[in-house]
Amino acid sequence: MDRRSFLKTGLALSAAGVAPFGLAAAEQGPWRTFEVTTRVELQEGGPSRVWIPAPSVDTDYQKLVDTRYSSPSGTVQLVQDPVYGAGIVAAQFGGGVRPVLETTSRFATRDRAVNLDGPGSGAVLSEAERAKYLAATELLPTDGIVRTTALDITKNAKTDLDRAHAVYEWIVENTQRDPKVRGCGVGDIRAMLESNNLGGKCGDLNALFVGLMRAVGVPARDVYGIRVADSKLGYKSLGKSGDISKAQHCRAEFWLAGHGWVPVDPADVRKVVLEENGGLPLNDAKVEAARKRLFGSWEMNWLAYNYAHDVKLPGAARGPVGFFMYPNAEVAEMGRVSRIDSLDPENFRYTITAREIIV
């Protein structure tokens, strides 16, 4: 069965459009268009299900064109998570067939920067959105050691901007990127703080930023996605093109009244420290430049999928996933349903590729 679905149409890429946060459109940089294709192929066996993220973030820095999907052997539908609106391409396969699912998403991005010294745009967060992005989740508690730590970090802060900057700097100073952590990490911030093991990857370190911010009453959220192109800023470690099967990367945002959502990425500062030029000290000029830039801006060689936590995959026999950034699959064998390891693309047999489209 083959089906095609279009998540968004009517892409407007004019540089004359209104730029966010009071910045001139030219400061946001030119739009770039990309295509990302994800292909999952399981071994023939019992009945199975496959879920692939479809981008649902449509903003001033990312515009969605469409998401298409096809499967020669299963039934497929595009659905949205009811809480966060995350796009999910969900496929179901009977036994005795080779499950194959392919999705292709087209989108455009432009570099994002918030002028924190400017007057802002008067952005307002609804009460429902405020409550959502202050709430605790399974992996992001806001009480106990999380709140105690957050209060200590921000004890001298007077404003939400001060609080965000204090938490960001604390993470850069006190955490480490751990290359032994699988994938992007789990994001269990209570366990990190209780064990005093502050090593991890983006799913851990940026989750720590989000949880600490929520614990002191500042709305914050993870943004889950994947790198799609090499960095043009001189950082080999902060980009990936071509085969991006292992290039998943989550970022973070906090809400600043009058300015809106402000991008940050302390985890990528620690990635520069670990990986750039074979490893660099915190006081290296290249690290300091990344540290300054990644509070308030993102290079958009990256696709944002969603903001979702504790995601219930439609039709899944197993429980929710903490976040939805990888392909997922379940297979039924001998009356038991097993979830396949999403962090093992060779044995899971999925590939994700990216290409830039010159328009």
CB atoms near residue 159 (< 10 Å): 11
Report which of 47, 51, 45, 95 is spatially closest to residue 69, judged by C-alpha positions. 51
Tokens coding 254: 């906090």
Q: What's the chain's length in residues? A: 359
Are 270 and 279 in contact, with CB atoms under 8 Å apart? no
Report the candidate in 124, 125, 49 with the shortest Cα–Cα distance to residue 89.
49
Look up tokens 């990309």; give the residue. Answer: 34
Are the beta carbons of 357 and 35 closer than 8 angstroms? yes
> 242: closest CA among 223, 225, 227?
227
How many Å apart are CA 41 and CA 8, to the nearest integer?
26
The backbone region for 129, taken as left when phi is positive above 0, alpha when psi lies in -120 to 50, beta otherwise, is: alpha
Tell me the torsion sign for CA atoms 221, 271, 269, 109: negative
Q: Which residues contact 14 (CB under 8 A, 6 or more apart)?
A: none
120, burial (CB in 10 Å: exposed 0-12, middle 13-18, buried 19+): middle
Rg of the chain's alpha carbons, rounded to an integer?
A: 20
Beta-sheet strands, E only, within 2-47 = 32-41
Amino acid type, 41: E
* Maximum Cα interatomic distance, the chain, rounded to a whole number of Å: 63
Q: Taking the mean position of all CA atoms in its chain, how far away is CA 128? A: 22
Tens of pLDDT along the chain (359 residues)? Answer: 444 443 443 333 222 222 222 333 335 679 999 999 999 999 888 999 999 999 999 999 999 999 999 999 999 999 999 999 999 999 999 998 999 999 999 999 999 999 998 887 788 999 999 999 999 999 999 999 999 999 999 999 999 999 999 999 999 999 999 999 999 999 999 999 999 999 999 999 999 999 999 999 999 999 999 999 999 999 999 999 999 999 999 999 999 999 999 999 999 999 999 999 999 999 999 999 999 999 999 999 999 999 999 999 999 999 999 999 999 999 998 779 999 999 887 778 899 999 999 97
Measured at the CA of 157, the angle between CA 151 and CA 163, to 5 degrees, comes to 70
pTM, entire model: 0.91
Three-class DSSP category at 177: strand
What is each CA distance from 349 to 245, 342, 354, in whole angstroms?
A: 10, 10, 17
Q: Are 20 and 260 in contact (CB under 8 A)?
A: yes
Give the per-residue pLDDT at 27. 52
The two three-digit tokens of residue 58, written as one number: 């449509």
